[in-house]
Amino acid sequence: MSIVEEIALRQGARLGLIVLGLIAAAIYALVFCHRGPSAWKTLVKSIPMPAFALAAAVSFGSPAVILALVLSAVGDVALSRNGERAFLVGLIGFALAHLVYVGHFLSLSGGLTAPVWGVAALVLLAASTELWLAPHTGTMKWPVRIYVTLITAMGVTALGLPGMPLAVIGAFAFLASDTILAIQLFRMSGMSRWQRPASVALWLLYAGGQFAILAGAGWATPLFQIL
């Protein structure tokens, strides 16, 4: 196989895997995200992040982004099930993914370069969770606090990304999805009429955010240029 043929094969595989991930994410949003646990729900939910990770792996993508997507896939599977243990496993998976993203974003920006106003806004948002979230988390109070700290750090480091608006948008979509999840799990009644729209919004922000991070910071050259 020539170099040109190998490049074409890798690019074709990347495109195919991205399309697979996006289709699975759309199916999950339309059919499964608002339903209770089931084998099919877990199966469909487990497709997008590994597909995105493989798309990066076959086309010389960032090892850090690949790892973060794999860790997120662990979180996806865990959170598709019920119970405090599954929630804790999911929380750990996503916390580690955020930690990997923090390291990746710092490596791209060369250090903490976020504007002061952005840091202040994110720190204020994180501090506010002590009022509206922490008192309602029961035995999960400290794991949730640690998670809030990590996702705040991810947002802060994303703000310093140089010329990568798509990755910044993705990071904040991810942050928004986690905020909705916190409200849904700890502040919203299970019978609330807002559960279904919250589930759809959460998933679209999460899956879209992960794809935007991949497209914007997953390769040496962004997959798309939006500015």
Tell me what pLDDT residue 202 has.
Answer: 96
pLDDT higher than threshold 80 for residue 1: no
Question: Which of 216, 199, 208, 222 has the alpha carbon at shortest distance from 49?
Answer: 208
- What is the rounded average pLDDT of the residues 188-198? 89
Over the stretch 92-145, which tens digit does the pLDDT of each residue have?
A: 999 999 999 999 999 999 888 889 999 999 999 999 999 999 999 988 899 999
Tell me what pLDDT residue 206 has.
Answer: 97
Number of domains in the chain: 1
- What is the rounded average pLDDT of the residues 166-185? 95
Tell me what pLDDT residue 130 has.
Answer: 95
Angle between helices 3-27 and 195-217 (to 10 degrees): 170
Tell me what pLDDT residue 214 has.
Answer: 97
In a domain, 172, yes or no: yes
Q: Is 145 exposed, middle or buried (0-12, 13-18, 19+ CB in 10 A)?
A: middle
In a domain, 88, yes or no: yes
Q: Is 39 exposed, middle or buried (0-12, 13-18, 19+ CB in 10 A)?
A: exposed
Residue range of the domain that includes 151: 63-217
In a domain, 11, yes or no: no
Q: How confident is the model at residue 27 (pLDDT cuts 50, 70, 90)?
A: very high
Q: Hey, what are 61's tokens?
A: 């993508």
Tell me what pLDDT residue 112 has.
Answer: 85
In a domain, 22, yes or no: no
In a domain, 87, yes or no: yes
In a domain, 68, yes or no: yes
In a domain, 120, yes or no: yes
Tell me what pLDDT residue 227 has.
Answer: 61
Q: How confident is the model at residue 35 (pLDDT cuts 50, 70, 90)?
A: confident
Tell me what pLDDT residue 79 has.
Answer: 86
pLDDT higher than threshold 70 for residue 222: yes
* Coil, helix or strand at residue 187: coil
Percent over 90 (pLDDT), the chain: 75
pTM: 0.94
Question: Which of 100, 216, 212 has the alpha carbon at shortest distance from 154?
Answer: 100
In a domain, 227, yes or no: no
